[in-house]
A and B are shown apart, each in its own frame.
Chain A
C-alpha cells in the first residue's frame, strides 16, 4: 500500500504513488535547472512535460492500471534521457552539471533524522545540518541536561519546531545531498541496500555503544506505543464492558425500585425520610420523573459503552433525540416539583400547649420504650393481651422513625414554685395557615403517673399529613431545688444538658442518674457532691497553710512557696486575694 498523489502534468490528471512522484519531481527539477539559461526554457520544459504526460498515460493504458509507480517513471526517464545525456547536443554557455549541483547543495535544511534517532532525531538532525557526527551533539545535549536541566526544555522545543524528515527529498535535503536524480538514485539504492541487509541497518548507523542504546530506547518506545494502542485498547474495552454490566444492573434495580415505590409491594416506605416529604397526589408523577432523570443517562452511558466495547451501534440514532426530549421533560417535571415542595417549607408556625404539673420534690423522667399498638396492629401481629409471656419491645434505634420524628426535651428553671410541662409543636408550610395546620396534625402523647413522667420517644403525624419538618419540643419547668431522676437513656432526649459530664457511678449501675435544679440550672447531684468534697479539701488546705505561714517567718523561700500556694487555693475557692497581702 502506498499513498497516491494526483498531479497535473501537461494539463493531464495523473494518479501517482508518492515515491514515484518524488522521483518525477526531482527529474523535472533537474530538467528545469538544465534549461534555466536557455532562451526558450519555458517552451522546452513544457514540451517535455507534455511528452512525459503522454508517455505516462500510454503506459497506464498499456498496463491497464490506474496509478503510476516508480518503474513507470524510471521508464519515462530512460526514454527522455538524463540531464547528463542532454549535454553535447545543445551548446550552453555554462557547465550545466556544475550549475545544478551548486543550486541544490546550498539547500540544506534542518529536519529530525528519524533513521538515526535516539529519542526524536533532534541531535542527529542538528549534526547533519552542521556537518558533524551526531554523537558530539548528543554528548553536548546530555551534558546540558546534567548542568541544570535546560537541555530538556531546549530539546523539547526543538522536537516541536523541527519537522520530521519524512520523504526521501526531505531526508536528502537534511543530509545536504544534491536533490538531483543522481543523489536521489544514490539515496534510494542506499535505502534498498539497508532494507535488504535487514538488521544490518543497526550496525551501519551505530558501531558505538551510544547508538546501541539509542536503538534500544527507540525500540522500547515503539514497543510502548504498540502496548498502549494494543493492550490499552483491551483495557478500555474491559472497562466499557464493566460499565455495561453495572449500568444494566443499575437500570434493573431502578425499574424494580420504581415498581416498589409505585406501591406494588409495600407502601410503608413513604414513612421514611426522603419520601415522606412527597404528598400522595403527586407521588406517581414525581417518582416517574425521578425515574426518568436517573434512568436515561444510565441508558445512554450503557449504549455508548456497548458501542465502544463491541463496535456496534446498539441503538438507532433517530431514537436518541426523543430520549433526550423525554429526559429533559423528566428533569423539568422533577425540578418543578422540587421547587414546589421546597416552597412548602417557606413559612414556620408553632403551637404551644402548657400543662401544670402537680408539685413533687422529685420527678422521675422515663422514656416509654414499648411500642404503641393500635387494635389493628395487635390483630396483625397476633398479640394476645392475655398472654403474659409475650413481651413486645421496639428497638427504636433501628426503627423506621429516624431523626425527624424524635422529640426533644428541655429542662428549665421555673420562675415560680409551680412545675409545668410545655408542649411546643412546630412545622413548616407554604403559608402560615398551612404550617399551623401541619403542626396541629402532630400526634404526641406523654403519661403522668404520680411523679413519673413517661415520654413517648417520638411523635407521629396524623394520616394525610406529610412531613414538613415537624418538631416536638417538651419544655419541663421545675422550681429550684427539685430533683429529677432520668431513667436509663432518657438523657438522650434531654436537649440542654451534656449528661456525659455526670459521673454518677452508683446511678450508672442502677440505670439512672439524679439531677437537681439549682439557681444556675440543672446540675448532676453526683457532680455537686464531688465539687463540695473538693471545696472542703481546699478549705482544709488553706487553714493549714495559714498555720504554717506563722512558723519559720525568717525562711523567705518557704514563705514564698506557702504564699503562692495560698493564692492558688484561694483562686480555686473563688476567694478574692486580700488587700493587705502586699504589705506582708
Chain B
C-alpha cells in the first residue's frame, strides 16, 4: 500500500513532464499522446489525460487547433506555447538534476 502510493506519486510527478516532452516534438492529437505514453508504459487510460491537458492549456502552457476529422467530431491538436517551451526547458533541467540525484543516491557520489 505504501509502495503503491509512492509509485503513484512518482508517476504523477513525471507524467506532466512526459506529456510536455511528447507535445514539444510537434503538433499532436490527444489519443496519439496516449499511444506514445502507452508505448512508454506510463499510462493506461485516456480519461486521465483530458483533465491534465485542459489544466496545462488553461495555465497557458498549451494551445490547440481544431482539425477536421474523417471519423467523428473535429479533433483538438495540441502544441506548446512559448511559456510551455520555457517551462519544459526548466523541467528538463530539473529532470537532469533528479536523474543525477537518483543516480548518486543509488551508486554513491563519483568524486
Interface residues on A, range: 20 to 34
Per a CB cutoff under 8 Å, which of B51, B71, B72 touches A40?
B51
- Which residues from 72 to 87 on chain B have a C-beta closer than 8 Å to any C-beta of chain A? 72-73, 75-76
B72 touches A10 (CB 8 A): yes
Q: B93: which A residues are within 8 A, CB to CB? A: none
Q: Nearest Cβ distance between residue B64 and chain A, in whole angstroms?
A: 10
Q: A281: which B residues are within 8 A, CB to CB? A: none
CA distance A35 to B47 in the complex (A): 11
B12 touches A50 (CB 8 A): no
B15 touches A89 (CB 8 A): yes
A85 within 8 A of B: yes
Considering residues B50, B55, B76, which has the most beta carbons from chain A within 10 angstroms of its beta carbon? B50
CA distance A58 to B31 in the complex (A): 13
Per a CB cutoff under 8 Å, which of B50, B55, B58, B71 touches A57?
B71
A89-B51 contact, Cβ under 8 Å, with A47-B30, A81-B45 = yes
B51 touches A51 (CB 8 A): no
A12-B48 contact, Cβ under 8 Å, with A43-B54, A51-B30, A89-B15 = no
A51-B48 contact, Cβ under 8 Å, with A58-B71, A88-B12 = no
Main secondary structure of the interface of B (DSSP, over half): helix
A85-B47 contact, Cβ under 8 Å, with A40-B58, A51-B30, A90-B55 = yes
B51 touches A57 (CB 8 A): no
Residue interface mask A106-150, B partner, CB < 8 A = 1: 000000000000000000000000000000000000000000000
The residue in chain B whose Cβ has the minimal distance to the Cβ of A53 is B72
CA distance A53 to B50 in the complex (A): 15
- Which residues from 76 to 101 on chain A have a C-beta closer than 8 Å to any C-beta of chain B? 79-83, 85-86, 88-90
A536 within 8 A of B: no
- Which residues from 19 to 58 on chain A have a C-beta closer than 8 Å to any C-beta of chain B? 31, 35, 38-40, 43-44, 47-48, 50-51, 53-58
CA distance A446 to B48 in the complex (A): 122
A40-B54 contact, Cβ under 8 Å, with A47-B30, A54-B75 = yes
Q: A88: which B residues are within 8 A, CB to CB? A: 8, 11-12
B54 touches A85 (CB 8 A): no
B52 within 8 A of A: yes
Considering residues A38, A39, A54, A83, which has the most beta carbons from chain B within 10 angstroms of its beta carbon? A54
B45 touches A80 (CB 8 A): yes
A53 touches B12 (CB 8 A): no
The residue in chain A whose Cβ has the minimal distance to the Cβ of B76 is A47
Q: A12: which B residues are within 8 A, CB to CB? A: 72-73
Considering residues B52, B72, B76, which has the most beta carbons from chain A within 10 angstroms of its beta carbon? B72
Q: Nearest Cβ distance between residue A79 and chain B, in whole angstroms?
A: 6
Interface size of B by CB at 8 A reads: 24
A353 within 8 A of B: no
B73 touches A86 (CB 8 A): no
A48 touches B50 (CB 8 A): yes
A86-B48 contact, Cβ under 8 Å, with A54-B71, A58-B71 = yes
B12 touches A89 (CB 8 A): yes
The residue in chain B whose Cβ has the minimal distance to the Cβ of A35 is B51
Q: B12: which A residues are within 8 A, CB to CB? A: 88-89
B105 within 8 A of A: no
Q: Nearest Cβ distance between residue A46 and chain B, in whole angstroms?
A: 9
Residue interface mask B37-54, A partner, CB < 8 A = 1: 000000011111011111
The residue in chain A whose Cβ has the minimal distance to the Cβ of B31 is A51
Q: A55: which B residues are within 8 A, CB to CB? A: 72
A11 within 8 A of B: yes
Considering residues B8, B54, B58, which has the most beta carbons from chain A within 10 angstroms of its beta carbon? B54
CA distance A60 to B71 in the complex (A): 10
Q: B106: which A residues are within 8 A, CB to CB? A: none
B54 touches A89 (CB 8 A): no
CA distance A81 to B34 in the complex (A): 12
Q: Nearest Cβ distance between residue B65 and chain A, in whole angstroms?
A: 14
The residue in chain B whose Cβ has the minimal distance to the Cβ of A89 is B48
Q: B47: which A residues are within 8 A, CB to CB? A: 31, 48, 80-83, 85-86
A61 within 8 A of B: yes
Q: A53: which B residues are within 8 A, CB to CB? A: 72-73
Given contacts A51-B31, A80-B45, 11 further A-B contacts (CB under 8 A): A12-B73, A31-B47, A43-B54, A47-B30, A50-B73, A50-B75, A51-B50, A81-B46, A85-B47, A89-B12, A89-B51
Ordered by A's residue number, 9 sampled pairs between the chains whose C-beta atoms are within 8 Å are A11-B73, A31-B47, A38-B51, A39-B58, A40-B54, A43-B54, A48-B47, A58-B72, A90-B51
Residues of B within 8 A of A (CB): 8, 11-12, 15, 30-31, 44-48, 50-55, 58, 69, 71-73, 75-76
